Structure 1
């Protein structure tokens, strides 16, 4: 809306809802992608690995982790419902951030860094787990390729 210079501004409730749904959706998307990556890494791990026991239990707990992801994001982003509002015509207010079609009041100097820390630590945790899962899958598939290399050779294998 801001890009098309719309004359229609969102009401307080609409602003809160748009920003809240965006933040919760972003967090749940990040958490679900992380959960899927870790689940894939556990699924393709060999039966004799240290993840063998998790391999049997992972499908049972995927739903619980998904629900936990939703609840965590709903709770962490409640601050948006408190500080977002409709368009403000304020010219000289340092405590208000203008988003074009909505505005938000800046929370206290002690609450805002804690909220940013919560949001960024969730993102860092998810990204870290996705990097670990991707690296594990590459390593597992590389080892698998080395084990089955002889199958595609032209000479008969002694084993």
Structure 2
């Protein structure tokens, strides 16, 4: 019986999150650009913005998770602890997904309280005007705290992603040097493609 491989499960989860991003930000933004107004009421804005914030955070987190998973998978088994971790990776996927969803749902819980449908007239200060919805932070402190919290979270996960991706590139570089005399053509091309894939993944979210 065919089973979904761990990397495929992570990629499927990432695709689901990116689809949520498209539905909650891309589609409403596009409709607004084409002149459609009053798409959502206050309740609709709260639901859409909350879902968007969770999906955006999960997109970064799951991309980081994929990078870490690949780094652990290709790392040489230097001891019993790493060997056990490699063997348990498939069983750790579901708890990790659940933890990431729970953490980001908790972190983004304030988003619905600041989300309202657009009002006629000028946009108040400290308000993010998304076109289809407004995110009104009411005061400078709330605006700054939100920006700091989101930035710290994103930089933390991107930092882990950069570290694990750099580790993968280092392993690929060492492996390429070791096998250069044996396989100069096919092996080098495969490793180069793998290195380019890692770099593209990091550049996309860095």
Query: Could you state the TM-score of these two structures normalised by the residue count of structure 1?
Result: 0.82
2:118 matched residue in structure 1: 87
2:159 matched residue in structure 1: 128
Q: What does 1:1-159 align with in structure 2 at a 5 Å threshold?
A: 1-48=31-78, 51-91=82-122, 93-94=124-125, 96-152=127-183
1:156 matched residue in structure 2: none
Runs of 4 or more off by more than 6 Å in structure 1? none
Where is the helix percentage greater, Structure 1 or Structure 2? 2
Report the Cα offset of residue 65 of structure 1: 2.1
Q: Is the 8 A contact 1:35 1:62 kept in 2?
A: no
Q: Is the 8 A contact 1:44 1:137 kept in 2?
A: yes
Q: Per the alignment, in what secondary structure is the counterpart of residue 61 of structure 1?
A: helix
**Structure-2 change in CA distance of 1:35 and 1:101 (3 Å):** same
Query: Which gives a bigger RCO, structure 1 or 2 (Cα 8 Å, sep 6+)?
Result: 1
Report the Cα offset of residue 61 of structure 1: 2.3
Gaps of 5+ in 1: 154-159
Q: Per the alignment, in what secondary structure is the counterpart of residue 32 of structure 2?
A: coil
CA distance in 2: counterparts of 1:96 and 1:33, whole angstroms: 29
CA distance in 2: counterparts of 1:151 and 1:104, whole angstroms: 59
**Structure-2 change in CA distance of 1:52 and 1:147 (3 Å):** farther
CA distance in 1: counterparts of 2:70 and 2:127, whole angstroms: 44
**Structure-2 change in CA distance of 1:35 and 1:12 (3 Å):** same
Matched length: 153
**Structure-2 change in CA distance of 1:93 and 1:108 (3 Å):** closer
Gaps of 5+ in 2: 1-30, 185-206
Q: 143-152 vs 45-54, which deviates more?
A: 45-54
Report the Cα offset of residue 39 of structure 1: 0.5
CA distance in 2: counterparts of 1:141 and 1:57, whole angstroms: 24
**Structure-2 change in CA distance of 1:113 and 1:51 (3 Å):** farther
Q: 104-113 vs 69-78, which deviates more?
A: 104-113
- RMSD, matched Cα: 2.3
Report the Cα offset of residue 26 of structure 1: 1.1
Q: Per the alignment, in what secondary structure is the counterpart of residue 63 of structure 1?
A: helix
CA distance in 2: counterparts of 1:92 and 1:8, whole angstroms: 15
- Of structures 1 and 2, the larger Rg is shown by 1
CA distance in 1: counterparts of 2:38 and 2:44, whole angstroms: 12
CA distance in 2: counterparts of 1:34 and 1:60, whole angstroms: 18
